[in-house]
Amino acid sequence: MKNRLLLSQLFFWITILALHAQPARRPVEVIVTADRDDWTYKPGEKVQFIISVLRNGNPVKNAQVRYEIGLEKLDPTIKETKTAANGTLTVDGGTLKTPGFLRCIAWATVDGVEFRGLATAGFDPSKIQPTVANPEDFDTFWDNAKKELAAVPMDAKMTLLPDRCTEKTNVYHLSLQNNRPGVRVYGILSVPKKEGKYPALLRVPGAGVRAYYGDVVTADKEIITLEIGIHGIPVIMDPSVYLDMGQGVLNGYPAYNLDDKDKFYYKRVYLGCVRANDFLTSLPQYDGKNLAVTGGSQGGALSIITAGLDPRVKWLGAFYPALSDVTGYLHGRAGGWPHYFDKNGVKTNNTKEKLNTVSYYDVVNFARRVKAPGLYMWGFNDETCPPTSMYAAYNVTTAPKELKLYLDTGHWTYSDERDAMNNWLVDKLKGK
């Protein structure tokens, strides 16, 4: 049992590192940058991209470079191959007439191995507006859903995990009843051992199927933490179970029942986040006022969604939110993960029923309703959650907000980024 637990912990941390860690450096790098420090332009202004091919930090002379330039996630409008005589090329990227992003992706082959780099130029991104519909009965739909949730007993079950406890914190495997009897939410709860009243932090997950270890580090700072899964299954099983489910029954779960807004997979997920807050705010150790939510990617989306649904949330921290302005592809630009309407999915998903469903679940429409101050972080080079889609939600958020850009990051974060987010959340929760 102990070996299985250790394997589960190892699997968890490998997954977290894969999702968030900076990619490892390679001996040959293709570095692409825009010709302005902030990579930002006004519509009509031209961008130039500088492509450098380096080996051990030195230019690779006469490197053959092929590059493509176009809107994120769409077919390129420029495709060329040139020789970088001194290891560097400057290429004309053109411009955009309206707010959006142009991306340059470059490849160089050195000693028979291909290397890749990219940069993305923003054109007045603060003016990007969403394409997704905002249903007139959006609030009614979710108010009714929350009423249905409130009518279901929470039936909380806590199992102490002694091997995970610290000197300061007790750690539990938690199970809650969700929006229907027999449908559960599972997570890892970490509670300070010392008697007192504490703020609470809900951590919501990125996409995938995995075990969870909880956030003991933050709990040791005298903050109650709860890290939840979204699939209604225990989160301390053997890693092989999650691998089998991710490749099997849960493969493609973001599109399950997309043609029915009442049966769509994410309805239970969104309500499960509210149910997690129900539990946190019911704890006798909770201080009664300080509650935050945070996550990245799918978790970034769920952070915004939870804050939009639940006024008990006082702060939110979101890394590169997914599920945002997913209809962008139908309007000539990139949409958010899981890319329902890109060239691979548009034939299947571009129906009246599915378009209706996504309007009730898109991050944009929750962002419109967020009241909690938020800290947001992402980069222009994200190829999973295109910046156009994220700005579409951010720009309609009227609550106090701050966006920290790490321009060159893709769907990953620097350790400094994660530290900045964690420090911000701790300071807010502890009234600093």
Of 11-20, 65-74, 389-398, which gets the smallest average pLDDT? Answer: 11-20
Write out the catalytic residue numbers.
Answer: 297, 382, 411
Taking alpha carbons only, the member of 273, 85, 103 closest to residue 178 is 273
The pLDDT of residue 19 is 55
The string of pLDDT tens digits covering residues 94-153 is: 999 999 999 999 999 999 999 999 999 999 999 999 999 999 999 999 999 999 999 999
Residue 388 has pLDDT above 90, yes or no: yes
- DSSP 8-state symbol, 10: H
H helices of 374-414, where?
387-394
Domain residue ranges of the chain, discontinuous segments joined by +: 28-127, 137-430
* Comparison of pLDDT for 175 and 23, the residue scoring more: 175
CA–CA gap between residue 13 and residue 420 (Å, rounded): 20
Residue 360 has pLDDT above 70, yes or no: yes
CATH of domain 137-430: 3.40.50.1820
First to last CA, the chain: 42
pLDDT category, 10, cuts 50, 70, 90? very low
Conformational region of residue 24, where left means phi above 0, alpha means psi within -120 to 50, and beta covers everything else: beta
pLDDT category, 7, cuts 50, 70, 90? very low
Of 22-26, 329-333, 381-385, which gets the smallest average pLDDT? Answer: 22-26
The pTM for the full model equals 0.95
Beta bridge partners of 109: 114
Q: Which CATH number fits domain 28-127: 2.60.40.10, 2.20.140.10, 3.30.300.10, 3.30.110.30?
A: 2.60.40.10
The pLDDT of residue 352 is 98
Q: Do domains 28-127 and 137-430 have the same CATH topology?
A: no
Phi, psi of 355 (to 5 degrees): -65, -40
Taking alpha carbons only, the member of 363, 422, 397 closest to residue 20 is 422
The pLDDT of residue 21 is 77
pLDDT category, 17, cuts 50, 70, 90? very low
CA–CA gap between residue 76 and residue 249 (Å, rounded): 35
Sign of CA dihedral 424, 425, 426, 428: positive
The pLDDT of residue 20 is 67
H helices of 310-386, where?
346-349, 352-361, 363-367
The pLDDT of residue 406 is 98
Percent pLDDT > 90 in the chain is: 94
Asked if residues 154 and 175 have their Cβ atoms less than 8 Å apart, the reply is no
Helix, coil or strand: residue 59 = strand
* Average of per-residue pLDDT values in the chain: 95
Tokens coding 403: 């966006």
The string of pLDDT tens digits covering residues 255-306 is: 999 999 999 999 999 999 999 999 999 999 999 999 999 999 999 999 999 9
CA–CA gap between residue 283 and residue 304 (Å, rounded): 23
The pLDDT of residue 300 is 98
The pLDDT of residue 26 is 85
- DSSP 8-state symbol, 272: H
The pLDDT of residue 1 is 41
Helix, coil or strand: residue 102 = strand
- DSSP 8-state symbol, 263: T
User: Residue 101: which residues within 8 A CB-CB, separation 6 or more?
Assistant: 71, 72, 120, 121, 122, 123, 125, 334, 380, 386, 387, 388
CA–CA gap between residue 345 and residue 322 (Å, rounded): 17
Percent pLDDT > 70 in the chain is: 95
The tally of CA atoms less than 13 A away on the side-chain side of residue 13 is: 6
Mean pLDDT of 65-75: 98
CA–CA gap between residue 241 and residue 228 (Å, rounded): 17
Taking alpha carbons only, the member of 245, 248, 300 closest to residue 20 is 300
Look at the chain and count its residues: 432
